[in-house]
Amino acid sequence: MGTIVAKFGGTSLADGQQFAKVVRIIKEDPDRRFIVPSAPGRSKVHDHKVTDLLYLCHSHVAQSLPFDDVFGHVAERYKLIISELGVKLDLGPKLREIRTRIKGGASSDYAASRGEYLSGTVLAALLDVPFVDPAEVIRFGEDGRLDADATQRLMEKRLGPLDGAVVPGFYGSKPDGEICVFSRGGSDVTGALVARGVDADVYENWTDVSGLRMADPRIVPNPERIDTLTYRELRELSYMGASVLHDEAVFPVRLAGIPVHIRNTNNSKDEGTKIVHEAAPSDRNGGLSGIAGKRDFTVIALEKALMNQELGFGRRVLDVIADHGISYEHTPTGIDSLSVVIDSRQLDGKLNAVVSDLKAQCRPDVLEVYPNMALIAVVGRAMAHRPGVAARVFASLADERINVRMIDQGSSEINIILGVETRDFERSVRAIYRAFLGK
């Protein structure tokens, strides 16, 4: 028997009908043994996420405002789900306990975690499998950060002997039992930790899209689905803003070499996207795996004759940046030039001081600041083996008369990062996409 860990996101569990789809999907494959649910999310009918409502309950209590109405919405969501499913389950005592604890001043993490807790309770009853409270198996340290080693030990011990279980997403506990949650969207992380904990063959992440797209659909109409992606490519694309998985969710499964399969609860026959440790370079789509990008960067460009012979020039530049508590994204260099690319928010209120310190400590011949830059990552594992990819990228931009202000290629040669002005950003993404996909 194989082992699949299947995580279902909030839209997959937004109402009774969605719960029914999830149960059907789980039952279709007996290997789907460990199930990680989110709290009910938004749907056509419900425009609130249960987690948002629970945070709201907590802040009402913290500000001594009546919270019965908000809590009533939460209780109503679950009652509706249960009645739509026709399952015999009385959540009354649990809802009363949660209400009492939130009213009594329980932490916001406790309040927020109850959405997943209740989803898990319903799903375990529907599937008739054990409910394992993540407070038992996901351990946070006193500083509120995940203790990955302790978690792995607890998972192996508690889940190892079971044939299957429902383990709600998003939360765990500190050693003293206090509930802690991950950052928003954190059920993805729980799914990855459970997958590692039970040494799963696959971590299925069920959501409301059929996998990752080769470009942002808000920029490129109806972009192609990515069939297979390596963890490294995913890291490049998600760093640049392509999001399907919580950032931290990749690390546990990557460490254990477990593939992730992103799938669509509403179109369960769709292939989705597979994320794997290694994949043969593919010539499909001219070797391009995906394009992603982010706006709002500032480039500080320094030029100095014979920079290459000046010992410590780069270090001094980066020291100034670090002394202002700023982290940088890239440092593309030329023979006599060095640029530092910084997320513009980091420079808020600091730019003038940074520039004058750079001038004083590095004495460049020219220092220029380019605000409003966008970075675009063109990613493809086939790039390293395939000549002409860069030529195609640059030709497509030249044809559109787009000025490329910066170029950076990672040493792994699976990406090219380009800097263009923010106003050229969307046009650039479309031009590159067209150059490879022909549309």
In the complex, which residues of this chain contact ligand ASP (CB under 6 A)?
9-10, 38-39, 49, 51, 115, 169-170, 184-188
The residues pairing with 276 across neighbouring beta strands, listed in sequence order, are 230
State the minimum distance, in angstroms, from the CB of residue 152 to ligand ASP: 20
State the minimum distance, in angstroms, from the CB of residue 171 to ligand ASP: 9
State the minimum distance, in angstroms, from the CB of residue 162 to ligand ASP: 23
DSSP sequence for 13-80: GSSHHHHHHHHHHHHH-TTEEEEEE------SS--S-HHHHHHHHHHHHHTT---HHHHHHHHHHHHH
120: left (phi over 0), alpha (psi -120 to 50) or beta: alpha
State the minimum distance, in angstroms, from the CB of residue 175 to ligand ASP: 23
State the minimum distance, in angstroms, from the CB of residue 244 to ligand ASP: 12
Of the two residues 41 and 164, which places its CB atom closer to ligand ASP in the complex?
41
DSSP sequence for 377-417: EEE-TTGGG-TTHHHHHHHHHHHTTPPP-EEEE-TTSSEEE
Instruction: For residue 73, give both structure tokens.
Output: 């919405």
State the minimum distance, in angstroms, from the CB of residue 180 to ligand ASP: 13
Instruction: Yes or no: say if 374 and 425 are a contact pair by the CB < 8 Å rule.
Output: yes
Instruction: Yes or no: say if 217 and 232 are a contact pair by the CB < 8 Å rule.
Output: no
Beta strands 171-173 and 179-181, pairing class: antiparallel
Of the two residues 49 and 294, which places its CB atom closer to ligand ASP in the complex?
49
State the minimum distance, in angstroms, from the CB of residue 338 to ligand ASP: 40
Nearest to 350 by CA among 329, 375, 374, 322: 322
Q: H or E stretch including 180?
A: strand 179-181
Instruction: For residue 338, give both structure tokens.
Output: 């060095």
The residue of the chain with the least Cβ separation from ligand ASP equals 187
Report residue 80: phi and psi, to 5°: -65, -45
Of the two residues 187 and 289, which places its CB atom closer to ligand ASP in the complex?
187
State the minimum distance, in angstroms, from the CB of residue 292 to ligand ASP: 21
Of the two residues 12 and 289, which places its CB atom closer to ligand ASP in the complex?
12
Single-letter residue type at 179: I
Of the two residues 9 and 364, which places its CB atom closer to ligand ASP in the complex?
9
Of the two residues 53 and 291, which places its CB atom closer to ligand ASP in the complex?
53
State the minimum distance, in angstroms, from the CB of residue 204 to ligand ASP: 15
Of the two residues 79 and 184, which places its CB atom closer to ligand ASP in the complex?
184
User: Helices 425-437 and 389-399 sit at what angle, rounded to 10 degrees?
Assistant: 130
Report residue 341: phi and psi, to 5°: -100, 125
Of the two residues 43 and 187, which places its CB atom closer to ligand ASP in the complex?
187
